[in-house]
Structure 1
Amino acid sequence: MVDVVVIGAGPVGLACALEVQRHGLTAVVVDKGALVNSIIGYPTNMEFFSTPELLEIGGHPFPTSSYKPLREDGLDYYRRVAQTENLKLRLYERVTGLEGEAGNYEVVTEKDRIACASVIIATGFYDVPNYLNAPGEDLPHVNHYYKEPYAHVDQDVVVVGAKNSSAKAALQLLRAGARVTMVVRGPEISNSVKYWIRPDLLNRIKEGRIKVHFNATIQRILTDSVKLDTPDGPLTVPADYVYALTGYHPDFSLLAALGITCQTDAAQTPTHDADTLETNRPGVYLAGTVCGGLNTSRWFIENGRYHAQVIAARLAGEAAPTLPEVLQPVQLTPQS
């Protein structure tokens, strides 16, 4: 039996296990995929929006040669932290349920049952796409994750969405030789797109090098085209490949399987105490972005990593650190 099972091997999950161990308790980290599986899914050479010190966990320095680290830097950093701290990892092991009560839980996985006193859920949100619910979305040339542009030279590629992921993908695809069309549900490119990306995209649209259809929705995806509903009526757009980059959300089915209820607010916020992070199940805690439900921009590595300190102190019977400024949602400025 271990003291704590951490569900989720992302940066916040690793931070939780690390802090639990430093408080003299035992922990094991379980994940349905690889170590920092979400970061593995990020685009090749993706640049983090945050600087290295804001991504650090456990006081381990994050050395990089550039102002902002790349995806590959992050993968190496979190692996080295996990190995240095001798974190016990059980990867590629999907959690399916939780039985028992506080002090005597069993985390049920596809492979085993893990006895523990407490549970921390740090599963993030990147693993579950927001689907278009359009016929043809399950075709093999449709993807909800963008990796790199090089396979799309001289192809017609439709990018659905108007936020950071869609903006960066459209620009990279254009410069790699693809013919890019964006489909945007709203009237404009989102103002939340980072200040160094948005002008570039708007200029490419103005030049006509990237086509865009605003206030449009996809009605059907075919093998070589997509059918749109636009303000000017139905329209068919050629599409050798479709990137539906419409965002992601927490795995609510897993939360339900673990016995965690959600509020009836628009964000479907998982039930938890804002100060202690304990859920409606005693001894079960939330950490990181999963705390925000559908409000996926409320918590992230920068502020979610501090949840680890609060939860670990509580589990060890100590006074939780006073961190009001870092436990509030961070609003990034251009200088960040």
Structure 2
Amino acid sequence: MNTVDIAIIGAGPGGLACAAQAIRHGLSCLVAEKGRRILQGIRDTYPKGKGVYPTTPKGTEDEFAIPQMRPQGEKEDLEEFLARIEAFVDETGIPIRLGDEFKGLAREKDGFAVTLDSGAVHARYVVLAFGSNIPVELGVYGEAKTVARNLENPEDFLGAPTLVLGGGSTAADIVAVLSRFKRANNDPTPVYWGHRRTTMRVQKDVARDMGEEILLGGNIKILHNAVPKLGEVDEDGIERLVVQTQKMHLDGGVYILQSLSFPMKNVIACIGSQGPAPVFRKLGLQMITCTEGICKIGKEGSELILLNQSLETSQKGVFAIGGAISPVYMGVFEAGAISENRHPNIIFTAVRDGVAVADEIAARCKG
């Protein structure tokens, strides 16, 4: 069985930063990534043409823990960023197994047996850096439920009104990029942006891109209180998504409902992803369920991973970083007090986590 100091699960910004820092400390490591390429999560969620921003948490003046992993300038073209990080990985000599899914781990003498698709690896320490990328279900009635989850090819949406669902930054990114692409190709069809609430929550740089596109004449129509209700097949055999946009109350419990119906092929659902709680649970890692009076940041009913100040889980020797613990986790302080810790799901934070954990493991190995 192959033996390494650190087994890192996930080749996103956090996992790559952890591996690079471990190599600098002279530690052996292995990165296992279930995707076909490194940074697969970013590739899957960022639309083509999107810029990658060096966003930092509000109030921080710290620099990127690994300067080479900072998006260049005010924003860097996605393809350029990916190519540059790939070159950094090659230069650093980070050992990565692509297409190798994590299956589980078991405590052994002096470490863990980490089970992957390709077989088992013995590691003194394990770092869970697999992000948060399990799509939330659309939640509609009917049989027709197949919609796109990201913008792989903008050309597929030329010449037809398109609906983008979701109130976050990913949805806003896609709306702006698709509108820009339609405008550049003299396509007058609109991009509808629908969300079940009245307020969209997006990062500042994303809002800036959206505002710029609207000012430049982008045909963007915002649908507040838009709720996907039904997936149906019409008389022509076309799968359609019915979205309720308005509900008017009349006397006697009667409603007037206003809806829009879009072909499923023209719908992109960016309705979020659920955290890796099922994986944490399978590994036997302690979590705390948010209830009223306990959580002020986390949603009621959500399960938050419990970590100490070193980002170590309840299983000694197993750490969790980056998107896997975003947007909030439960922190345990030396005095034993437990509190929520806000953890932005951005590249800066993931890189910082990876470096900090590698430093902590190096100190233990040398101690």
Considering the TM-score relative to the shorter chain, is it more than 0.5?
yes
Partner of 2:304, secondary structure, is coil
Report the Cα distance in structure 1 between the residues aligned to 2:230 and 2:321, rounded to whole angstroms.
Answer: 38
Report the Cα distance in structure 2 between the residues aligned to 1:311 and 1:172, rounded to whole angstroms.
Answer: 36
Q: CA separation of 1:11/1:226 partners in 2, compared to 1, >3 Å: closer, same or farther?
A: same
Residue 260 of structure 2: aligned partner: 237
Q: CA separation of 1:218/1:252 partners in 2, compared to 1, >3 Å: closer, same or farther?
A: same
How far did residue 237 of structure 1 move?
A: 1.8
Matches within 5 A, 1:100-179: 100-101=107-108, 103-125=110-132, 127-135=133-141, 139-140=145-146, 142-175=147-180, 176=182, 177=187, 178-179=189-190
Report the Cα distance in structure 2 between the residues aligned to 1:136 and 1:149, rounded to whole angstroms.
Answer: 28
How far did residue 87 of structure 1 move?
A: 1.0
Does residue 46 (structure 1) correspond to residue 68 (structure 2)? The answer is no
**How many positions carry a matched residue from both structures?**
314
How far did residue 56 of structure 1 move?
A: 5.7
How far did residue 109 of structure 1 move?
A: 1.4
Matches within 5 A, 1:177-192: 177=187, 178-190=189-201, 192=203
Report the Cα distance in structure 2 between the residues aligned to 1:181 and 1:201, rounded to whole angstroms.
Answer: 14
Residue 8 of structure 1: aligned partner: 10
Matches within 5 A, 1:1-336: 1-33=3-35, 34-41=37-44, 42-50=46-54, 58-60=66-68, 64=72, 67-101=74-108, 103-125=110-132, 127-135=133-141, 139-140=145-146, 142-175=147-180, 176=182, 177=187, 178-190=189-201, 192=203, 194-200=206-212, 209-222=219-232, 223-229=238-244, 230-232=246-248, 233-240=256-263, 241-265=266-290, 266=299, 267-273=302-308, 275-292=309-326, 298-317=344-363
Q: CA separation of 1:58/1:103 partners in 2, compared to 1, >3 Å: closer, same or farther?
A: farther
Q: Is the 8 A contact 2:168 2:200 kept in 1?
A: yes
Report the Cα distance in structure 1 between the residues aligned to 2:114 and 2:215, rounded to whole angstroms.
Answer: 52
Identity, % of aligned positions: 22
How far did residue 174 of structure 1 move?
A: 3.6
Cα deviations across residues 48-85 of structure 1 (Å, max 9, x unaligned)?
Answer: 12279x99664437685x53111112211221111111
Q: Is the 8 A contact 2:161 2:191 kept in 1?
A: yes
User: For residue 15 of structure 2, what is the amino acid of its counterpart?
Assistant: G
Gaps of 5+ in 2: 57-61, 233-237, 249-255, 291-298, 330-341
Q: Is the 8 A contact 1:183 1:213 kept in 2?
A: yes
Q: CA separation of 1:81/1:57 partners in 2, compared to 1, >3 Å: closer, same or farther?
A: farther
Q: CA separation of 1:314/1:153 partners in 2, compared to 1, >3 Å: closer, same or farther?
A: closer
Q: CA separation of 1:282/1:97 partners in 2, compared to 1, >3 Å: closer, same or farther?
A: same
Report the Cα distance in structure 1 between the residues aligned to 2:81 and 2:92, rounded to whole angstroms.
Answer: 17
Q: Which has the larger radius of gyration?
A: 2
Partner of 1:225, secondary structure, is strand
Q: CA separation of 1:104/1:318 partners in 2, compared to 1, >3 Å: closer, same or farther?
A: closer
How far did residue 180 of structure 1 move?
A: 2.6
Q: CA separation of 1:287/1:200 partners in 2, compared to 1, >3 Å: closer, same or farther?
A: same
Q: Is the 8 A contact 2:55 2:348 kept in 1?
A: no
Gaps of 5+ in 1: 321-336
TM-score (norm 2): 0.75
Partner of 2:99, secondary structure, is coil
Query: Per residue, is there more strand in 1 or in 2?
Result: 2
Q: Is the 8 A contact 2:7 2:30 kept in 1?
A: yes
Partner of 1:311, secondary structure, is helix
Partner of 2:88, secondary structure, is helix
Aligned residues: CA RMSD: 3.2
How far did residue 313 of structure 1 move?
A: 2.5
Q: Is the 8 A contact 2:100 2:117 kept in 1?
A: yes
Q: Is the 8 A contact 2:143 2:231 kept in 1?
A: yes
Q: CA separation of 1:316/1:294 partners in 2, compared to 1, >3 Å: closer, same or farther?
A: closer
User: For residue 269 of structure 2, what is the amino acid of its counterpart?
Assistant: A
Partner of 1:158, secondary structure, is strand
Q: Is the 8 A contact 2:343 2:349 kept in 1?
A: no
Cα deviations across residues 81-100 of structure 1 (Å, max 9, x unaligned)?
Answer: 11111111111011111112
Partner of 1:239, secondary structure, is strand
How far did residue 244 of structure 1 move?
A: 0.9
Report the Cα distance in structure 2 between the residues aligned to 1:23 and 1:124, rounded to whole angstroms.
Answer: 24
Q: Is the 8 A contact 2:326 2:345 kept in 1?
A: yes
